[in-house]
Amino acid sequence: MTSVKSNFVRIIESVKAINMTKVLFLVFVLLISIEVSAQKKYFVKKITYEQGLSENTINCVAQDPLGYIWVGTREGLNRYDGYS
């Protein structure tokens, strides 16, 4: 009788372990999907000397509170408003 009981206990423990593994896997997948959906989308537009940049080599980039993008080059500081 004890061997049947111990076998039953082992079966229950293995089922619990399998279910816990599935639960942990689902939590992992959900956390990854939340992280991916929370990422910001960035759009990059290429601006060169032909579009009015003082030089093609950029040293720094910053955005001010009004939304203007400031691009620093060796030839000077350039302001970009996103349209022109």
* Of 56 and 45, the one with more pLDDT: 56
Residue type, 19: N
Q: How confident is the model at residue 36 (pLDDT cuts 50, 70, 90)?
A: low
- Running DSSP on this structure, what letter comes out for residue 41? P
Average pLDDT over residues 60-82: 89
* Of 22 and 77, the one with more pLDDT: 77
What's the token pair of residue 38? 């929370």
- Residue 55: which residues within 8 A CB-CB, separation 6 or more? 49, 73, 74, 75, 76
Q: Where are the domains of the chain?
A: 1-39, 40-84
Closest of 78, 80, 82 to residue 54, by C-alpha: 78
Closest of 52, 77, 80 to residue 66, by C-alpha: 80
